Structure 1
């Protein structure tokens, strides 16, 4: 009879230990889920901040361009890259032909140190090409920017 009480006690002890272990596992799982939710929320917050930064940048550059405070080639290059990162479906040559043509003209032109390394004749040629393209596309670029800002205004 005492052997049965001993076995019963041992059984209760084993079940208690397993219940404790299961409780710890469930607690760890709950903590892990919470951490994942927090990480996901943080990632979404950062993504939203990045999207807002892109949007604000496009609007700022667009407005500066319309007020003739930013060169058309600079605006074309910067806005197009920002737009591709903000909403790739908006960055389509057919939607904004002026902006795209300007971007396409200047995207491969060297900048910063690479520009300084060019000989003067090549530099003058590239500047002339860029300036001529700005003159030819000025109205189209500004129209594209106005259209883009109108689309982005409700979001901004």
Structure 2
């Protein structure tokens, strides 16, 4: 009878050791998976930052051009709105820059390029009037936003470079 208990104890020890080995192996896999997920998150964030840096470089260029009156405000606001809306790591741009987005929203439905060419003279004049009215109404707000946007963009580029 004592041999039976000895064999049972040995079998139990072997089972416990096998389960402990298996548990250790599973823990190692979980640790590796967590590390892989962490590395994937880092790469994803780096890709988002790279995208945003490229966008912010363009925003800075357009902002400077608008401040130096090398770019029309309506075209600049259009381009800035599209660029700012494409940022991956920053949100609420319309709230931060209401003048730029306000002008964009006022003119976004107006015809441009080939669509403008198909308009009659009267329709073009009507759209030009809407565009000029929007520009006049929003000019001061856009100018104020340009200063803030320039500063914001420079700060974000510095942050992304770090």
State the TM-score, normalizing by the size of structure 1: 0.74
Whether the 8 Å contact between 2:107 and 2:134 is mirrored in structure 1 is: no
Offset of residue 7 of structure 1: 1.4
The residue number in structure 2 matching 1:2 is: 3
- Equivalences for residues 98-113 of structure 1 within 5 A: 99-111=100-112
The residue number in structure 2 matching 1:119 is: 119
Offset of residue 139 of structure 1: 5.8
Cα 1:144/1:42, change in 2 over 3 Å: same
- Distance in 1 between residues matched to 2:136 and 2:44, nearest whole Å: 43
- Distance in 1 between residues matched to 2:107 and 2:40, nearest whole Å: 40
The residue number in structure 2 matching 1:68 is: 69
State the TM-score, normalizing by the size of structure 2: 0.72
Cα 1:88/1:31, change in 2 over 3 Å: closer
Report the RMSD for the aligned CA atoms in angstroms: 3.0
Q: Which runs of 5+ in 2 are unaligned?
A: 158-162
Count of equivalent residues: 153
Question: Secondary structure of 1:92's match?
Answer: helix
Offset of residue 152 of structure 1: 3.2
- Distance in 1 between residues matched to 2:57 and 2:91, nearest whole Å: 16
Offset of residue 79 of structure 1: 1.6
Q: Which runs of 5+ in 1 are unaligned?
A: none
- Distance in 1 between residues matched to 2:140 and 2:82, nearest whole Å: 20
Could you tell which deviates more after superposition, 81-90 or 30-39? Answer: 81-90
- Equivalences for residues 67-86 of structure 1 within 5 A: 67-84=68-85, 86=87
Does residue 29 (structure 1) correspond to residue 26 (structure 2)? The answer is: no
Could you tell which deviates more after superposition, 45-54 or 26-35? Answer: 45-54
Question: Secondary structure of 2:70's match?
Answer: coil
